[in-house]
Structure 1
Amino acid sequence: MSRFFTRLLSGMAVFAVLFASAALPAGAQTLQAVRDRGFLICGATGALPGFAQQDAQGRWSGFDVDLCRGIAAAVFGDPERIEFRSLRGEARFAPLQTGMVDVLVRDGPWTTRRDSLYGARYVGTAFFDGQAFLLRQSMGVVSAFELNDLTVCVLDGGEELERLQEFFFSNQGSYREIPYEDVADLSVAYQAGLCQVISAPARQLQAIRRALPDPGAHRILPERISKELLGPVVRDDDQQWFDIIRWTLFTLINAEETGITASNVDSLLGARTPVVRRILGVDGDFGAALGLRASFMADVIRAVGNYGELYDRHFGPQTGAALLRSQNALWTNGGQLYAPPVR
């Protein structure tokens, strides 16, 4: 019996999942299963403003959702052929293992355990994150290394509290921690003036900031006191599907680096630049090895734009709470975003 099915049969709760949704066998060709179904099922860990949120009509939008739309464009040439599911919990691997979702676009941060124990593989980093600090612009603080003699709201009993303590110890700053059990408490306490600063992962701080009455009056400091890598996760038994998701992500990054956007992709089909012609499928067929069309990268860009367009759409100035790209800038601009060349 395969490792996958041994794991599949180990818990009674899984039988309910199997009753509702047919699981994929070990080594299954996910691409064919998705095509036969006619749409992609995409999941992310919890709704989070900027990453995944629903409007009054139940429509999903956000960075995670657009990444899913990019994958659907790669597979079908149609970014709307998706079903988006918001999953509770820090790391929801069971829906992935049982075939309830085809890919997780945002799960728990990439760690050794998550990458090796749960039958899953992290494809790459779509968003670099880490623990940061949120405070009022009126404090005049522009760097975490200026923090001193203040109160900090932080989640109790976990790594975030330990990192906060280590940061202030290393930088010889004084502070008083105000611990809370739930993320929602951090925002309530901050708005009530019970603390001057919140320390949490920047993605959570961004969600808190966007919900404040005047987001522009608050700042997330640029420093990160931990490293958290977030990105798509797939089952570990299908190399073809892994490669499809990975090169969808790499397409977004390479498109920004070469200046290909949703608005100019079609006009560049006649370009003479070799790298542009390869990305757009004019020269060479880089989709064949993945089971995709030669134009799959052009279809991704046409549907959702390049990485910079995705980032600006969901974290740019027009949101009212711009989040500096920092680590998520291209490597050519001092960030950590990097993709292998198309060749």
Structure 2
Amino acid sequence: MIADFLKTTALAAGLLWLSIPSAAAGPHIDALKQRGVLKCGTSEGTPGITMPDREGKWTGIYADLCRAIAAAVLGDASRVDFVPTTTVTRFTALQSGEIDVLSRTATVTLTREAQLGLRFAPIWFYDGQAIIVARKLGVTSAKQLSGATICVQQGSTSELNLSEYFRTNGMTFSPVTVATLDAVEDAFFSGRCDAYSNDSTPLIGMRLKAERPDDYVLLPERLSKEPTALAIRKGDEQFYDVVRWAVFALMEAEEMGVTSANAAELAAKGPPSVKRLLGSEPGLGKALGLDERWVARMIAAVGNYGEIFQRNLGKGSRIGLERGQNDLWTRGGQIYALPLR
């Protein structure tokens, strides 16, 4: 009787296993593959984030993330159509389907995710809002700016953050709200406002555009937390899974020591966890409805998270940032990939 029970249980388990469908591409990925190009919404041009170089090639940490997703899904990192958006048009462009992903410094907030129909990928870059002023003003702290006129970009969280910061400190300011990035930077450089507030990294990049960058200084205060991430529309969980785990794979590759230079060798001779990541041992690709080499293609195209950061924002770049919060958790940062297994 026990033997009959065990046979029945084994048969039921086998039928259950056969009944579980393998992952298949969702409607968005099917449409992407049919179109053959990923439409990636970018900024208007922010050094180190998303910006075309002199040859028109888009560069930056978010441009490289788009290339990685194209490599994973379409098999070719060059199959990206970069679509500039402003802080006013970016979410509408995503909601309407004009773009597939929004890949620029969009801060993850409750209201954006709950009310705008968005899904944010894992945090790609941690920043904070800052204020820049002309050095000739002699200002060394944001707390010296009561009564100042401050430029902010329309549609960003900067004005609300400024208002809360100034109210908290018993200060006042007059906002100068401008629609586009070029216009707000021109307003600041022309002296239309005393200061300009944005995330600190775009401000560093803007400072480099000045004829004499040393004439401008970032004040030390950080007015807010600005965790930024790539966003997609709600409605296709399979596409969201691919985007989410693509981000984690690039982070995990850095933690495992997998780089664009050694990935091919490690795929053949690395430990089991690395072989699984790179597709030499199957499983991860099938779970997402992709082929098993999806991570290997991303690494070959853009490198791991650390390579992307250093190339675009790190000490060897024009921006020259320390890793800080954007370092691996093993080195005191907040970059932490969930287990790829």
Q: Give the TM-score normalised by the residue count of structure 2.
A: 0.76
Q: Tell whether 2:290 aligns with 1:329.
A: no
What does residue 266 of structure 2 align with? 268
Among 74, 79, 87, the residue aligned to 2:77: 79
The amino acid across from 2:202 in the alignment is Q
- Say if 1:217 and 1:310 are closer, same or farther in 2 by CA, change over 3 A: farther
Task: Write out per-residue CA displacement over residues 79-126 of structure 1, whole angstroms, 9 at most, x where no aligned residue.
Answer: 111111112334533433343222112263222222122332112211
Determine if the alignment matches structure 1 residue 105 to structure 2 residue 103.
Answer: yes
CA drift of 1:299 comes to 1.1
| Cα offset, 1:50, TM superposition | 1.9
**1:35 to partner: Cα distance:** 0.8
Offset at residue 131 of structure 1 (A): 0.7
Task: Output the amino acid matched with 1:325.
Answer: R
Residue equivalent to 1:4: none
Q: 1:206 aligns with which of 204, 207, 214?
A: 204
The answer to whether the Cα contact below 8 Å between 1:51 and 1:63 also exists between their aligned partners in 2 is yes
Deviations, residues 149-177 of structure 1 (Å, cap 9, x unaligned): 578763369964664576578789xx996
Letter in 2 for 1:229: P
Structure 1 residues 48-57 or 69-78, which shifts more?
Answer: 48-57
Q: Rg larger in 1 or in 2?
A: 2
Check if 1:154 corresponds to 2:150. yes
Ranges in structure 1 where 5+ consecutive residues have no aligned partner: 1-26
8 Å CA contact 1:46–1:89 kept in 2: the answer is no
Over 3 Å counting, the alpha-carbon distance change for 1:96 and 1:159 in structure 2 is: closer
- The alignment partner of 2:119 has SS state of strand
TM-score normalised to structure 1 length:
0.76
Amino acid of the structure 1 residue aligned with 2:207: R
Contact 1:135 1:197 in 2 (8 A): yes
Encode CA deviations 1:203-246: one digit per residue, 9 max, x unaligned. 33123122123547866567632112221211211111001111
Q: What do the CA deviations read for 1:274-319 (whole angstroms, capped 9, x no partner)?
A: 3222211222320102111112111111110011111111112343
Cα pair distance change 1:159/1:40, threshold 3 Å: closer
The residue correspondences of 1:165-244 to structure 2 (distance < 5 A) are 179-182=175-178, 198-215=196-213, 220=218, 224-244=222-242
- Which letter does structure 1 place at the counterpart of 2:151? L
Partner AA of 1:97 in structure 2: Q
Cα gap change, 1:286/1:95 in structure 2, threshold over 3 Å: closer, same or farther?
Answer: same
Q: Percent identity?
A: 37
Q: Which residue of 1 aligns with 2:12?
A: none
Equivalent residue pairs, number = 312
- Judge conservation of contact 1:178–1:195 (CA < 8 Å) in 2: no
Whether the 8 Å CA contact 2:256–2:274 is kept in 1: the answer is yes
Contact 2:48 2:319 in 1 (8 A): no
- In structure 2, the CA distance between the partners of 1:228 and 1:39, relative to structure 1 (3 Å rule), is same
SS of 1:317 mapped into structure 2: coil
In the TM superposition, 1:278-317 aligns within 5 A as: 278-317=276-315
How far residue 60 of structure 1 moved from its aligned partner, in angstroms, is 2.1
The answer to whether structure 1 residue 246 and structure 2 residue 244 are counterparts is: yes
Pairwise CA RMSD: 3.5
Q: Aligned in 2, Cα 1:85/1:188: closer, same or farther, shift over 3 Å? A: closer
Alpha-carbon spacing, 1:164–1:324, altered in 2? closer, same or farther (3 Å): farther
Contact 1:222 1:326 in 2 (8 A): no
SS across alignment from 2:222: coil
The whole-number CA distance in structure 1 between the counterparts of 2:163 and 2:250 is 37
